[in-house]
Chains A and B, each alone.
Chain A
Amino acid sequence: MSSPSTAAALALGDDALVLSHRLGEWAGHAPVLEEDVALANIALDLLGQARLLLSLVGDEDELAYLREERAFRNTQLVEQERGDFAHTIARQLYFSTYQALLYGQLADGMGPLAPIAAKAAKEVAYHRDHAEHWTLRLGDGTPESHDRMQRGLDALWRYTGELFEPVDGLEVDTAALREGWQAGITDVIERATLTVPTGPRRGGWSAGGGRRGIHTEVFGRMLAEMQHLHRSHPGATW
Chain B
Amino acid sequence: MTTMAPDTEAAYEPALEAAFDATVAADERVEPRDWMPDAYRASLVRQIAQHAHSEIIGMQPEANWITRAPSLRRKAILMAKVQDEAGHGLYLYSAAETLGTSRDELLDKLHAGRQRYSSIFNYPTLTWADVGAIGWLVDGAAITNQVPLCRCSYGPYARAMVRICKEESFHQRQGYELLLALSRGTPAQHAMAQDAVDRWWWPSLMMFGPPDDESAHSAQSMAWRIKRHSNDELRQRFVDICVPQAEALGLTLPDPDLTWNEERGAYDFGPIDWSEFHEVLRGNGPCNEQRIAQRRRAHDEGAWVREAASAYAAKHGEARA
- Residues of A at the B interface (CB closer than 8 Å) are 17, 21, 24-25, 27-37, 40-41, 43-44, 47-48, 50-51, 54, 60-61, 64-65, 84-85, 136-138, 140-142, 144-145, 148, 225-226, 228-230, 233, 235-238
How far, in angstroms, from A148 to B154 measured CA to CA in the complex? 44
Contact (Cβ within 8 A) B79 A33: no
A43 to chain B: which residues have CB within 8 Å?
A: 79
Q: Which of B71, B301, B305 contacts A61 (CB 8 A)?
A: B71
Docked Cα-Cα span, A145 to B302, in Å, equals 11
Partner pick for A137 among B302, B303, B309, CB 8 A cutoff: B309
B308 on the A face (CB < 8 A): yes
Q: Contact: A237 with B75, CB < 8 Å?
A: no
Known: A37-B90, A61-B71, A142-B311. 10 other contacts (CB 8 A): A24-B75, A28-B56, A28-B60, A29-B301, A48-B76, A136-B312, A141-B309, A145-B308, A237-B181, A238-B74
Q: What is the bound-complex CA distance between A141 and B305, given in angstroms?
A: 9
- Residues of chain A with a CB closer than 8 A to B316's CB: 140
Kindly state the separation between the CA atoms of A122 and B309 in the bound complex, as whole angstroms.
26
**Closest 7 CB pairs between A and B?**
A31-B302, A141-B308, A145-B308, A40-B83, A31-B305, A27-B63, A36-B86
Q: DSSP majority for the B interface?
A: helix
- Report how many residues on chain B are interfacial, defined by Cβ distance under 8 Å: 49
Check A28–B301 contact: CB distance below 8 A: no
CB distance from A216 to the nearest CB of B (A): 18
Given contacts A32-B302, A51-B76, whether A27 and B308 have CB atoms under 8 Å apart is no
> Which residues on A sit within 8 Å (CB–CB) of B302?
30-32, 85
Is B80 at the interface (CB under 8 A from chain A)? yes
Q: 10 A-B residue contacts at CB 8 Å?
A: A24-B66, A24-B67, A31-B303, A35-B305, A36-B83, A43-B79, A47-B76, A141-B309, A142-B307, A236-B188
Chain B residues, Cβ within 8 Å of A37: 83, 86-87, 90
Are A225 and B86 in touch, CB under 8 angstroms?
Answer: no
| B189, CB-defined interface residue at 8 Å | yes
Kindly state whether residue B216 has any CB partner on chain A within 8 Å.
no
